[in-house]
Amino acid sequence: MYIPTQEERYSKAARLTLLLCIIIPAGVVVWLAGGSLSDCTAAFLLPLSLLLDKVGFNTTAAACISALIQFIFFLWLTRSRKLTPKTRLTIAITWGMLFALIVRIAIYQAAAALQ
Q: What is the pLDDT of residue 93?
A: 94
Mean predicted confidence (pLDDT) in 51-80: 93
Is the predicted pLDDT of residue 95 greater than 90, yes or no?
Answer: yes
Is the predicted pLDDT of residue 81 greater than 70, yes or no?
Answer: yes
* Count of residues in the chain: 115
Q: At what angle do helices 85-114 and 59-79 cross, to 10 degrees?
A: 160
Is the predicted pLDDT of residue 96 greater than 90, yes or no?
Answer: yes
| Burial track 32-54 (b if 16+ CB lie within 10 A, e otherwise) | ebebeeeebbbbbbbbbbbebbe
Q: Given pLDDT bands bounded at 50, 70 and 90, which one contains residue 61? A: very high
Please state, in angstroms and rounded to a whole number, the distance separating the CA atoms of residues 78 and 14.
Answer: 9
Mean predicted confidence (pLDDT) in 69-92: 91
Is the predicted pLDDT of residue 12 greater than 80, yes or no?
Answer: no
